[in-house]
Chains A and B, each alone.
Chain A
């Protein structure tokens, strides 16, 4: 069942890191969003991080906020999002799929039933941007009942004690913050994350994916060199969708080029 484990083992054998793009489900509209996600996979994404649009995304910068607004306007309700996820899973049985969303969307549905529904839509992991380790218990419980990996974030400012607990509690992978702040390609990740990554490794953390401020292939290389198992790129991916809102073919072509170049950077020397 564990698609993340399989993926990270395969990548290890091939001497590669993981490239994981993020997009908002339903951006710019549900049908285009399905095609966009398929394109990301066809172009070489190793796993996916997908957002559910939310009205008040406090951890996101302007790029991803705007994506959420576009998706909400286009009618991407949670049921629509689950439906798209189900179609992705049917077409791509192997790729690990993670959800990234906000707590109130989970609560509104009921924590347990949200996780069960995610499981049946083929979701492998869930990361809730506004639920820190301290509030994770009911979510973690639901995750383990449903057979979903609960992802936690390891920020650069966490105490050693907190890092140890985060490493222990995060399954599937650990989302390592490349820098403080909110999501966005405007501010680069601080790729001197070696100390943080070392500490996680010593604590036997699940594989680490570095995110926040990753938009170029050389940053992916640096992330891997610092000890990450892969890199997540959200705002840079979403920027491409925003740039060509009225030209789907151009969006898909540019995403293809972007994902290929980022994926190429994951091949270790």
Chain B
């Protein structure tokens, strides 16, 4: 039986083939041991600080917000090595891999951010990485594919199914079923079967802890709202974790509304999905009435996933966190606005959170401190955004 709680209310669990249970139990035990082992914590912290560049800054925006009552801060995970928050938890899981005496790492990636983070951690720690990526994504994200290969990872295109992230996850789980003896499945978000949602949250928890300390230092009080984008939900849960027991801090997750929630082209699993099981977890998913999984859609590949981490499902159901959705168009607008007003090019994922925060800022009628998790930088999105905005674009919004 499990040593840690495998559920968040009714959500979560371990819906995997019996064959994978021993590997998940081994991982849970390794994680428990590591949490109590000072030398593990020391090594993890040293990697985060000296290799990845933690703590990341908290930046007060200067020009973005016109409402004088509002202070909008950005938590700068975009400045982390690798270009996104992903590096935090990947370093943690790579250390766990070594702790379990495994030499290989299996991972899935959508946009290539988690794959890139996995590739860099494996290069650093001497692990052999193979990364599954939907064939469509391999085409769409060529620079990240090259990055991964440059750092020694094997990138395996998956053409089964829709050729996107969910199919890459399927393939990674199949690989793990055959190779759990020597390989760790380094899952990339706070979803999947227990203990992944808990491990990924704990290895991203420093995001929120740093925010607390930095806001207290700058403002002498807690922020009013934390805003983060939610695909699988790792950057959001990392930001929320330290504040869940303090209801005076509002937690807001922003899902991708794609072409609009009235269409089928979105990835807003909490706002519009229903309860079901995907990739080992009972959570909100996108499915048809027979239970077949439906394709998600978003302009941002990192949010394009038809399920969500089970703790977010629980936070939504209990009302502790609020979940909203932002369209492609709104996100693209925020993307340009941040570049224009602050000189920061955000990831399209993070642009969703920013877009909602800007709406909140406009509506605020009293003094308000908002912190947005700027979970990644936008370099990876430049080709995609160029193709949307066109060659005529000259910086006017």
Contacts and interface: CB of A to CB of B under 8 A. Distances in A.
Interface residues of A, number: 43
B13 A58 contact: no
B277 interface: yes
Contacts of B20: 132
Contacts of A109: 290-291
B216 interface: no
B22 A103 contact: no
Contact of A153 (B17, B276, B277, B290): B17
A238 to B, nearest CB: 15
Contact of A108 (B19, B174, B290): B290
Contacts of A132: 14-18, 20-21
B18 A158 contact: yes
Contact of A56 (B1, B166, B275): B166
Contacts, number: 114
Nearest to A159: B22
Nearest to A153: B18
A186 to B, nearest CB: 11
B174 A182 contact: yes
Given A104-B287, A180-B177, A56 B19 contact: no
B18 A135 contact: no
A109 B290 CA distance: 7
Contact of B161 (A55, A59, A158, A162): A55
Nearest to A154: B18
Interface in B1-45: 1-2, 13-22
A152 interface: yes
Nearest to B6: A134
B19 to A, nearest CB: 4
Interface of A: 54-62, 65, 69, 72, 77-78, 102-109, 129-135, 152-155, 157-159, 162, 166, 177, 180-182, 187
Interface of B: 1-2, 13-22, 160-161, 166-167, 170, 173-174, 177-180, 275-280, 285, 287, 289-293
Given A72-B292, A132-B15, A134-B21, 15 more contacts: A54-B292, A55-B292, A57-B170, A58-B17, A62-B160, A65-B160, A104-B285, A104-B287, A105-B292, A132-B21, A134-B14, A153-B18, A154-B18, A158-B22, A187-B178
